[in-house]
Structure 1
Amino acid sequence: MAVNEQNTFVPGFKIQVSGVTIYYEFYEHENPDAKVVVLVHGFLSSTISFRKLLPYLTKHYVVIALDLPGFGQSEKSTTFIYRLCNYGQLIIDFLDKLTIKDAILIGHSMGGQISMHAAKKAPARIGKLILLGCCSYVKKASHPLIVCSYLPLFTWGMRSWIQKKDVKKNLAAVLHDPSLVTQELIDGYKKPISEAAFIDSLIRLLRHREGDMTSQELKEISQPVLMIWGKEDKVMPVKTGYRLKKDLPNAELIVYEKCGHLLMEEKPDEISNEIIRFIEAEME
């Protein structure tokens, strides 16, 4: 068990999945037939990104939030190949470890792309997808950049870049309303990226990460998909959402005004209502 900044207990655990130690939070439900919802965070993030959705979702479902390898409290592995498709397979392997047969995935940003990989790999296991400001159509890093990443000075430069990053300023940039940036939020995002091993994981991700799914690959995802976007998203512009909707065969898109990339912080009530509505409608 873990304790957060508010001194409340978080049901946190660690488990070995495919040779990597994964941190996850497991929120049980009194209904033995409750659906299982798995939360998959994005780049430079962790389970903290879903903190405002948890009070809503845990009322209705079994909820699991995990830190991906290289992020949060999970292992900064030097053996894991940091490809999106491998992250997707890890989600399936994680469900196997917990003996969960069916799940609904909610992915934010890069976590959305990873969730689509998992859904594509195991369509019988992942019945529904909810994508929040989903990272899409991002290409693989250029060959010269990948070559440079092997130079000793590159690691030093990356570490300096991370250390100089103003977490408060960066959080304000992904929110439409910067007043929502609290000290609790800053601390929650700053702690994991301050670890020395995090830099090595970030560089490995740069080297290994393949490009996002192509339009043809996206057309092979048949599950019902709910996409939610912030109209003022500067990280993944809303035009990406409209393009993604065209490529996914069975998707709906909801766009919120006055909302940025970290939409879970800005519109938790509205987003939760839409998520629950979407899940229940598909269950009928």
Structure 2
Amino acid sequence: MAALELSAGVVEYEDTGGDGPVVVLLHGVAMDGTLWRNVVADLRADHRCLVPTLPLGGHRRPMRPDADLSVLGVARLVAEFLEALDLTGVTLVMNDWGGAQALVADGRDQRIGKLVITSCEAFDNFPPGLPGRNLHTSAALPGGLRLAFGLLKLKPMRRLPVTWGWMTRRPVPDAVMDGWFRPLWTSKEIRRDLRKYVLGVPPKAELLRWAESLRTFDRPALVAWAAEDKVMPPDHGRRLAALLPQGRLVEIADSRTLIPEDQPERLAGHIREFLGKAGTTPSGDGTTGA
């Protein structure tokens, strides 16, 4: 695991290396880069995959106490990550986290050559759905995050709709989830960082302005959405694809929000096809232009 000193603190990341096209993969709240383990296993043979662990609760090193970890602050941190590694023309891929809209609206998308948006926060769905609202309530209460994530040590709690039950069709392996949650179980500073993000959502009008800014992203874009998503409305995927001038939509069957967990092979296949590394669309999914 490599590490990079950025303005907010140290960000750890995986770098598969190699001379292939650069793909940067981003995860959501209370996760780390292992969300992408199965997709990276497919892509790494002929792509350079970089997977940073964002300061969204699954990170192991606390950020500086004065770090801006609002939605916009984390988006700026992603831009800083790309700049620090001097990456240009990257394919930026994200799941669950909706920071692409903030990156574009803030004018920090110059290093992005192609964009892949999979089921994620969009429009005014911040925090997203039932689990997002539950997390926001916990973050607003003293000791709320410690209690909420402490309950997730009990494995049956992980499949409730208000926690992670609606995020995947099939349970995420317990060992993987233990790794995601352990920093929140053990560090009050990590809980502080997550609280900043969850409570750092701008007003609805600003969120909608961010989404509208995608009309200015004039490079290739793929929107891959879970057809059975209960947290990120499938209609949001269609609307995002329509906003993007070169947007293309694919709906992935038999999956909920965390497509890299439910359908990693199909998602990797769509990314490959989008990047010109394969000639056919994976079977079982519908693809349309914007």
CA distance in 2 between counterparts of 1:153 and 1:225 reads 35
Give, in angstroms, the shift of residue 139 of structure 1.
5.9
Match of 2:72 in 1: 85
Aligned match for 2:271, one of 271, 275, 279: 275
Judged with a 3 Å threshold, the aligned counterparts in structure 2 of structure 1 residues 153 and 65 are, in CA distance, closer, same or farther, namely: closer
Aligned to 2:130: none
Q: Aligned partners of 2:263, 2:63: CA distance in 1, in Å?
A: 31
The corresponding residue for 1:206 is: 198
What's the RMSD between the two structures over aligned residues? 2.5
Structure 1 letter corresponding to 2:103: A
What's the secondary structure of 1:28's corresponding residue? Answer: coil
The Cα shift of 1:89 comes to 2.0
Q: Do the aligned residues in 1 keep the contact of 2:220 with 2:246 (CA within 8 Å)?
A: yes
Q: Distance in 2 between matches of 1:134 and 1:77?
A: 27
1:15 is aligned to 2:11: no
- Cα offset for 1:213? 4.5
Give the residue type in structure 2 aligned to 1:208.
G
- What is residue 103 of structure 1 aligned with on the other side? 90
Summarize the Cα distance change of 1:74–1:101 in structure 2 as closer, same or farther, 3 Å threshold.
farther
Q: 3-state SS of the aligned residue for 2:176?
A: helix
Give the partner amino acid of 1:35. P
Matches within 5 A, 1:66-85: 66-71=52-57, 72-85=59-72
Q: Give the share of equivalent positions with the same residue, in percent.
A: 21
**Structure 2 match to 1:239:** 235
CA positional deviation for 1:206? 3.1
Distance 1:119 1:225 in 2: 13
Q: Tell me the TM-score normalized by structure 2.
A: 0.79
Q: Residue 203 and residue 239 in structure 1: after superposition, are their counterparts in 2 closer, same or farther (change >3 A)?
A: same
Determine the structure 1 residue equivalent to 2:21.
35
Distance 1:276 1:153, change over 3 A: closer
Asked if structure 2 preserves the Cα contact closer than 8 Å seen for 1:67 and 1:74, the reply is no
Relative distance call for 1:74 and 1:213 in structure 2 (3 A) is farther
TM-aligned CA deviation for residue 249 of structure 1: 2.1
Using the TM superposition, give the Cα deviation of residue 136 of structure 1 relative to its aligned residue in structure 2, in angstroms: 0.2
Give the ranges of 4+ consecutive aligned residues of structure 1 lying more than 4 Å apart after TM superposition. none
Q: Give the match for residue 99 of structure 2.
A: 114
Change (3 A) 1:213 1:79: farther
Aligned residues: 255
Distance 1:58 1:200 in 2: 34
Range 214-223 or range 234-243, more displaced: 214-223
Assess if the C-alpha contact under 8 Å between 2:94 and 2:117 holds in 1: yes
- TM-score in terms of structure 1 length: 0.80
User: For 1:197, which of 185, 189, 193 is the aligned residue?
Assistant: 189
| CA distance 1:246–1:105, change in 2 (3 Å) | same
Separation in structure 2 between the aligned mates of residue 86 and residue 200 of structure 1, nearest angstrom: 15
